[in-house]
Chain A
Amino acid sequence: MTSTTLPILLLLGGFVLQLLLARWLTPVGKGVLATAVVFASFLASLTLVPASMAGVAAEAMLLPGWDGPLSIGLRVDGLSVLFMVMGTGIGAAILLFSVRYMEHEEQGTTRFYAIMLVFIAGLLLLAGAADMLGAYMAWEVIGLCSYSLVGFWYKQKAATDGARKVLVITHLAGYGFLVGLVLVYARAGTLAWTDPAVASAFTSGVAALFIVAAMAKSVMFPLHTWIPEAMNAPTPVSALLHSACYVKAGVYLIARMYVVGGGQWHEAMGTPLLAVGCVTILVGVIFAMAQTDLKRLLAFHTVSQLGYIVVGLALGTDLGLAAGLFYCLSHALFKGTLFMCAGAIQHATGTRDLRDLGGLASAMPGTAKVWIIAAASIAGVPLTNGFVAKWLLFSAALDKGLLVVVLVGWIGSILTAFSFLKATVNAFYGVPSKALLGRPVHEASPSMLTGMGSMAGLCLLFGVAPQLLMLPIVAPAVRSLGFDWAVEMSWLGILTDRGTIAVTVGGGVVLASAMLGLLVYRLAQAPAPGLVSVYSGGEPLPAGDRPGAVDFAEMAETAFHPVYSLDPDPGYLRIWRALTRVAGAAQTAAGAVLEDRPLLPIGLVAIAALAGVWLV
């Protein structure tokens, strides 16, 4: 065992312990064990940071002589370390949250914690795999774990339907990865990411296949439709799936392709990928605005946020990669936090329907604070890591002269803010809904608050001092992909070199506009409460109502209504129905001709074989 393999082996050891000690441990004990194991793995991952900062790629064998000449080995570079630290760090916080969240689960906690550990181990193996075959195996292991966890409550139809959709969409697209690596191996005779022979075999077609696989995992339009259906899983699963372990696998694959031939794929595939990312930003957020289920709302925001990350990676510059990878880490923090908050709300109220919530800030003040920090972060409010991520991304796009990308990102950000204002107001403020009346609503337990609070704290810390993340984690990752690190960044994420003037002026204009709006709002005479003297055919209209966040969200929903017809699911359903119809017709014909009259096919085969051997 080496320090390189230690993070993975710790997790696998934890998996074995979960199985061995299942009979003796309580659900809380299993949760504590899993948390401790993942935290230990996190610490072990951190020990790899110095080497990655020094530009060293640590190599180790995990399964030497696995299959003939093929071995499963690790080559841990800066990009690997970034994903390993993210997976284990976020995983530890989520598992800490799970300890109390899952304590009342009557059965299946061993299965839950065991698969969670393999899930995280799968991400680590994917990130550290020295070659494409190891990466593909990890890719599928992650997929299987996700399938099992989404279908955790396998006796509920909604849960199993969600799991089915996850498996079908991601696996069918995932064959792209397999077919791509097979084509590479057929041409190059090796699959090592860094082998020059692989670079010459890695054509645009292969890159396109990899990207299709990545699109399904990373919920890019139109392969994103599985994610809202996966929300019927336990909240820790949703949190891990959305923040660190599943959707980020596709991000990893896209980033990793840059080590092949100096990112030669980007020339042909960069622009299409950029377009997919931009469309995904908008489609995700527009669909999110129409949701009333808190977890579905967060799920569609994952779609949108992943669009930002992929756009950053698709820019193909050091600044773009820095933005994409920083965004990836930031998203893991704030989205994990938001999901845990949603879980805490559901745990406390028994519902996650925004129409049945309200006024929770008084009963759950800690959760409300954590939620607001994370919501501010996803909306890109300054002092949070979300702001730094967006700032970097816009800078990178401007640096490349892509104003359209900035415009799309900006519209997406505004809609994200509206969406989260709506969710925040509906969940935490106003009066409690009728559904909550008489129901004792309790604050999340200390361990749950610690789990989500620690991540919210990091959202603020990396918003104020992003260098803490940039220099030891993001910079080595960008360098490991073959780019020079020339990003100068100060406190609050303000760039001090390229893109500085454009973004700073832009930011200044936005800030001035906001201040002006606030000034107008303050100076204006607030309407006095009372009745408006307009005959409405019934009760007089109340005065004093001003448009709020919810109204804006509803206005946007109305305005964007045509976008909702972009749902690809009906198309998939038509394909499935056509396939089953063809299969039914084939069975009818085959039953009558081939099964009921055996001599007929035998005769046909005999004639065909005899004719064939003379023709060949």
Chain B
Amino acid sequence: MDTVLIPLFLGIALGVGLYAGAIPQGDRSWWRFAAATVALAVAARLAGHSWTATLLASAAELVAVGMVWSGGTDAARAAARKYLTAVVLATLCTWAALALTGLGTLRPGAPWDKLAVALLLIGVALKLGLVPVYFWLPAVARASSAMTTALIVAVVDVGAFCELLTLRETAPWIFTGFAPLWIGLAVLSLLGAALLALAQRALKPMLAFSSIDDMGYLLLGLVIGGADGMAGAWFGILGHALGKIVLFGAVGAAEWHLGRAVTLDDRGLSTPLPVASAAFMLGALGFIGIPPTLGFIGHWRLYLAGAELGGPLLLTVLYASSAMALLCYVRVIHRVWLGPAAAGPAVGTGGQPLPRVAAAVLLVFAVAPVLFGLAPNRLRPTLDPHPHVAELTGPLVANPLGGVK
């Protein structure tokens, strides 16, 4: 059993549930979709690396579309349509790729192996919202409640990425044989999304672009592989999940307080919302990869993997992306949270204090990356691979379809 991701997903579900109980994120249908999304994602992890898991993960993605749709506004429905487009196409491409490769157990003969890789590349890019096919994620972030996007990023996307990690072990040829393509996709995402994040004025789409940027990092680690690359991707994705819950949660708290979307024009929210402010800062620092957070445990290894593969050039790319992410988050912290408070909330249900339960959730998720950063071994996966993976990673044998198994 996956002793890290399943507890993580359940913990996220509990936290989001408590938070949404205090700060409403949607109507009854939202609760049903959210619960189903997490349940299917957990079930997929329980099923291991198999077709059942793939089906369950795809179902989780489709149900997550419902979560967005339940927002009820025109913008929400438009975003849901975009998300649905991405999910359907990604599912078709990924399934086709997995079918061609027997879930990564075999390498079909040319040209089917190339086709499988191309399909997987498209599917992964759409699923994770990588540049340039990121169209759905900022739209979802703009139109949905904070925890809707957080669940999609921290559970659905994390599940998809972890499935990719397994595929990296079972079918390394997909990544090593076509590394320039994967690296190009990763670099495009981490630079492009970091740059686009800087251009955002609203916080939720900014966080969405920041997620894409981080996914670029993690994909790079995954493609490079090796002990450092894989560990970097693993710790990085865990930090990503925890960090996004905190960041979206804090912004959601600010929206609750102001009664509208939070932008760079807002000021001094740390005065009315000190806990949310502290949580956002901790989450941002973890996301940037500052020690002693879990983000650092992942990031320094990703730098290492980058150095081993691409030397100073790739390190420069990583540095540029990190620098832009730092500038982006620091600007938000200092314009929106710190400094003198604005005169008062302008519209809506403004001025509401942060409910204690929501504050507690934010604090727990903000402190967790620091504690895990001090004891990262607690998050290491069990040494024995999943039985399915162990079976699949045996010696290569002749494949009747013309490739090797």
Contact = CB atoms under 8 A, between A and B. Distances in A.
On whether the two chains bind one another, the answer is yes
Interface in B305-332: 306-308, 312, 315, 319, 322-324, 326-327, 330
A225 to B, nearest CB: 16
A172 B271 CA distance: 28
A590 B297 CA distance: 32
B12 to A, nearest CB: 23
B89 A590 contact: no
B195 A582 contact: yes
Given A179-B315, A586-B195, A609-B121, A598 B85 contact: yes
Interface stretch (A87-95, A153-161, A364-372, A430-438): A153-161
B327 A168 contact: yes
Contacts of B375: 66
Contacts of A167: 326, 330
A17 B271 CA distance: 26
Contacts of B390: none
B292 A580 contact: no
A549 interface: no
B196 A587 contact: yes
Contacts of A155: 268, 270-271, 338-341
B36 interface: no
A492 B304 CA distance: 50
B11 interface: no
A609 B177 CA distance: 14
Contacts of A579: 198, 324, 327
A605 interface: yes
Interface residues of B, number: 69
B250 interface: no
A616 B315 contact: no
A66 B334 contact: no
Interface stretch (B47-55, B63-71, B126-134, B151-159): B126-134
Interface string A282-326: 000000000000000000000000000000000000000000000
A498 to B, nearest CB: 41
Given A595-B135, A595-B138, A598-B85, A605 B125 contact: yes
A557 to B, nearest CB: 33
Nearest to A187: B307
Interface string B95-119: 0000000000000000100110111
B132 A604 contact: yes
Given A160-B339, A168-B326, A144 B290 contact: yes
A395 to B, nearest CB: 40
Contacts, number: 163
Contact of B89 (A137, A179, A602): A602
Given A594-B132, A594-B134, A604-B132, A171 B326 contact: yes
A513 B86 CA distance: 83
Interface string A160-201: 110110011001100100110011011000000000000000
A584 B200 CA distance: 8
Contacts of B388: none
Contact of A178 (B196, B285, B303): B303
A580 B135 contact: no
Nearest to A587: B199
A583 B195 contact: yes
B323 to A, nearest CB: 6
Contact of A136 (B86, B184, B291): B291
B180 interface: yes
A336 interface: no
Nearest to B290: A140
A543 interface: no
Given A154-B339, A175-B319, A179-B319, A598 B304 contact: no
Contact of A140 (B199, B291, B322, B374): B291
Nearest to A594: B132
Nearest to A579: B198
A580 B323 contact: no
A612 interface: yes
Interface string A572-616: 000010011011101100100011001001101110011011101
Contact of B376 (A66, A143, A151, A602): A66
A67 B376 contact: yes
A587 B200 contact: yes
A151 B339 CA distance: 9
A350 interface: no
Nearest to A581: B199
A68 interface: yes
Contacts of B131: 594
B326 A172 contact: yes
A472 B127 CA distance: 63
A141 B324 CA distance: 21
Given A160-B334, A182-B315, A186-B304, A605 B122 contact: yes
B139 interface: yes
A63 interface: yes
A141 B126 contact: no
Contacts of A614: 111, 114
B198 A168 contact: no
A616 B327 CA distance: 36
Contacts of B121: 605, 609, 612-613
A177 B268 CA distance: 33
Nearest to B177: A616
Given A179-B303, A584-B199, A616 B181 contact: yes
A68 B15 CA distance: 29
Contacts of A613: 114-115, 117-118, 121, 178, 181
A217 to B, nearest CB: 15
Given A183-B312, A598-B135, A612-B180, 15 more contacts: A156-B340, A157-B339, A171-B326, A172-B323, A182-B300, A182-B307, A579-B327, A586-B199, A594-B135, A595-B134, A595-B138, A598-B136, A609-B117, A612-B121, A613-B117
Interface of B: 82, 85-86, 89, 111, 114-115, 117-119, 121-122, 125-126, 131-136, 138-139, 177-178, 180-181, 184, 192, 195-196, 198-200, 231, 268, 270-271, 285, 290-292, 296-297, 300, 303-304, 306-308, 312, 315, 319, 322-324, 326-327, 330, 333-334, 338-341, 374-377, 380
19 contacts: A65-B377, A137-B291, A137-B292, A140-B292, A155-B270, A157-B339, A160-B334, A182-B315, A183-B307, A183-B315, A579-B324, A586-B196, A594-B131, A594-B134, A595-B138, A602-B89, A602-B126, A605-B125, A610-B115
5 A-B pairs with least C-beta separation: A587-B199, A583-B198, A583-B199, A613-B114, A160-B338
